[in-house]
């Protein structure tokens, strides 16, 4: 199993551009999450999903959108990139009725 | 004040030393996670506990729900233990929301 994969690894955006961060897991996990990690700060939950077709907001959802059309994929969309969205983004997943979250390698995004 | 506080922020130890990292929280949680973030950035889940104590190899995690405090201990520390250790509380009420501490950076010197 590849586990949780994220693309791209790095990206530089200009203010106002849009992009999609991809996240895929091959473990058939129901639950998927998007976090951001700012320098010197704890991770913060952006959005999560408990299964295909179901998504919900986390702590910092503004400026982001998600969709979950399949069990495997949970893309995160930035519509109008702002410098405040410069961060490292982590996707994670877990199986229902278990506690362990499996994290992807992260995407480092810089908005200039 | 953050809802989850870790101490110390940075910790340097000599190989073989016993390490303790502390986590205290001010919100109601149903469980607490300990995570390890490698120097390259990857994050691995170490423990989830809601009471008592858990042990995995040289790692031991304890939690005192009444005192809202958890500790992560590393026995016989090794340079490969060098990483950032993060605690995160699962907010009560059936939510999926984890509230994270800022992490403790551990460096173990040979």
Please report which confidence band the pLDDT of residue B88 belongs to, taking 50, 70 and 90 as the band edges: very high
Give the count of beta carbons closer than 10 Å to the beta carbon of residue B87.
31
Q: Is the dihedral of CA A16, A21, A44, A63 positive or negative?
A: positive
> How do residues A4-31 score in pLDDT, each as one tens digit?
999 999 999 999 999 999 999 999 999 9
Q: What is the pLDDT of residue B58?
A: 97
> How do residues B13-28 score in pLDDT, each as one tens digit?
999 999 999 999 998 9
Whether A75 shows a pLDDT value over 70: the answer reads yes
Subunit contact A42:B4, Cβ cutoff 8 A: yes
Q: What is the pLDDT of residue A1?
A: 75
Q: Which chain A residues touch B43 with a CB distance below 8 Å?
A: 90, 92, 103, 106
What CA dihedral angle connects A47, A48, A53 and A54, to 10 degrees?
-100
Please report which confidence band the pLDDT of residue B96 belongs to, taking 50, 70 and 90 as the band edges: confident
Q: What is the pLDDT of residue B92?
A: 86
Chain A positions contacting chain B at CB under 8 Å are: 31, 33, 40-45, 48, 50, 56, 58-59, 88, 90, 92, 99-103, 105-106
Q: How far is A12 from chain B (nearest CA, A)?
A: 18
Strands A87-94 and A31-37: antiparallel
The mean per-residue pLDDT over the stretch B93-107 comes to 90
Whether B104 shows a pLDDT value over 70: the answer reads yes
Radius of gyration of chain B (CA): 13
Q: Measured between alpha carbons, how far is A59 from B53 in angstroms, rounded to an integer?
A: 29
Q: Which chain B residues touch A4 with a CB distance below 8 Å?
A: none
DSSP strands (E only) in B50-95? 52-56, 59-64, 69-74, 83-91
Q: How far is B53 from chain A (nearest CA, A)?
A: 16
Q: Measured between alpha carbons, how far is B22 from B72 in angstroms, rounded to an integer?
A: 7
Average per-residue pLDDT for chain B: 94
> How do residues B53-62 score in pLDDT, each as one tens digit?
999 999 999 9
Segment 39-98 of chain B within 8 Å of chain A by CB: 41-45, 48, 86, 88, 96-98
Q: What is the pLDDT of residue B1?
A: 64
Give the count of beta carbons closer than 10 Å to the beta carbon of residue B93.
9
Q: Which chain A residues touch B96 with a CB distance below 8 Å?
A: 31, 33, 45, 48, 50, 56, 58
Q: Measured between alpha carbons, how far is A50 from A27 in angstroms, rounded to an integer?
A: 14
Question: Which of A56, A58, A90 faces B43 most closely, judged by CB atoms?
Answer: A90
Q: CB of B104 within 8 A of CB of B8?
A: yes
Residues 6 or more apart in contact with residue B66 via CB below 8 angstroms: none
Q: Measured between alpha carbons, how far is A12 from A75 in angstroms, rounded to an integer?
A: 18
């Amino acid at each position: 199993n590849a586990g949780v994969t994220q693309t791209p690894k790095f990206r530089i955006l200009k203010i106002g551009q849009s992009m999609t961060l991809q996240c895929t897991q091959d473990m058939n996990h129901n639950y998927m999450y998007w976090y951001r990690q700012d320098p010197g700060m704890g991770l913060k939950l952006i959005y999560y999903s408990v299964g295909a077709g179901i998504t919900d907001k986390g702590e910092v959802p503004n400026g982001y959108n998600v969709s979950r059309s399949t069990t495997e994929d949970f893309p995160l969309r930035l519509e109008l990139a702002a410098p405040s969205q410069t961060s490292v983004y982590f996707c994670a997943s877990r199986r229902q009725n278990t506690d362990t979250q499996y994290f992807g390698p992260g995407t480092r995004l810089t908005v200039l | 004040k953050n809802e989850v506080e870790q101490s110390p922020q940075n910790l340097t130890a000599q190989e073989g030393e016993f390490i303790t990292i502390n986590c205290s929280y001010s919100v109601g949680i149903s469980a607490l996670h300990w995570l390890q973030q490698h120097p390259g950035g990857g994050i691995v889940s170490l423990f989830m506990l809601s009471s008592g104590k858990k042990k995995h190899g040289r790692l031991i995690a304890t939690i005192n729900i009444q005192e809202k405090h958890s500790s992560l201990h590393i026995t016989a520390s090794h340079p490969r233990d060098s990483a950032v250790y993060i605690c995160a509380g699962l907010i009560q009420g059936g939510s999926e929301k984890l509230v994270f501490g800022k992490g403790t950076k551990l460096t173990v010197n040979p």
